[in-house]
Amino acid sequence: MESDPLPTGRHGLTPEEVREDQRRRLLSATALCMADKGYAATSVADVIKRAGVSRKTFYEIFADKADAFSAAYEVGVASLMKDVSAAIEPDGSWHDRLVWGLTALAESVARSPAFATICIMEVWAAGDAARRRHFEVVAGFRTFLDELAEEVSEPLFSGIVGALSTMLYHEIEEGRLEHLTEIVPDMVAVVAPPLEAIRARTNAQD
């Protein structure tokens, strides 16, 4: 979604509201530009033009392009995690919760394609700090898997996350975001068998 410029003249907004609106528009513009052109090819000039703010305003809010990316990434991640968490009913079976979580993930990515694109694709081009933060975020999904099947090992966790990320990456790259929920059964087929094996092994030991 494009950013609308602030009205000129007497608009009735407080300075804090103006600055928050400017920040919101810069975050949206950062995600849109980097989803369109990629992190490396996007310049601050691209972002401020799309956001409709001055270069001076940009640098009052963000230190540089990397800082703007980092802030936009956090917005995208927070939205994804909120959507997944809200979709999982605690009283469902472990398989139901898995389906609900992966469906919510696919729907969230499709609903916010620009932010999802920078979280899944462009983060790898955004430098070491961005990649380290990405690994921290990904590690947070271990809690979700551990709730479905106890003691998910590090290699298995990495394999599951890698497979899901690759599937989402491919669909985004091919421009199939509007139909992303169609791959949910395939995502479930990747995740469910190893979790079921862990659950069976754990039950056998009890």
User: Does residue 9 register a pLDDT over 50?
Assistant: no
- Find how far residue 99's CA is from the centre of its chain: 18
Mean pLDDT for all residues in the chain: 89
Of the ranges 30-39, 147-156, 189-198, which one carries the lowest mean pLDDT score? 147-156
Which residue from 205, 169, 175 is spatially nearest to 187, judged by alpha carbons? 169
For 171, residues 6+ apart whose C-beta sits below 8 A from its C-beta are 177, 180, 183
pLDDT band for position 8 (cuts 50, 70, 90): very low
Angle, helices 15-37/65-87, rounded to nearest 10 degrees: 90
How big is the CA angle at 144 (ends 139 and 145), to the nearest 5 degrees? 85
pLDDT single digits (tens) 116-164: 999 999 999 999 999 999 999 988 888 788 788 777 888 888 899 999 9
Q: Span 66-89, mean pLDDT? A: 92
Which string of b and e fits 110-124 if b means at least 16 CB within 10 Å? bebbbbbbbbbbbbe
Q: In this predicted structure, what is the pLDDT of residue 139?
A: 86
CB pairs under 8 A, 24+ apart, for 32-38? Answer: 32/1, 32/2, 32/114, 34/69, 34/72, 34/114, 34/117, 34/118, 34/122, 35/113, 35/114, 35/117, 35/118, 35/122, 38/122, 38/125
Q: Span 77-101, mean pLDDT? A: 89
Q: In this predicted structure, what is the pLDDT of residue 199?
A: 83
For 132, residues 6+ apart whose C-beta sits below 8 A from its C-beta are none
pTM (2 d.p.)? 0.85
Q: In this predicted structure, what is the pLDDT of residue 11?
A: 58
Q: In this predicted structure, what is the pLDDT of residue 206?
A: 60
Domains of the chain: 15-65 (1.10.10.60), 69-205 (1.10.357.10)
Q: Which residue has the tokens 């909120």?
A: 82
pLDDT band for position 3 (cuts 50, 70, 90): very low
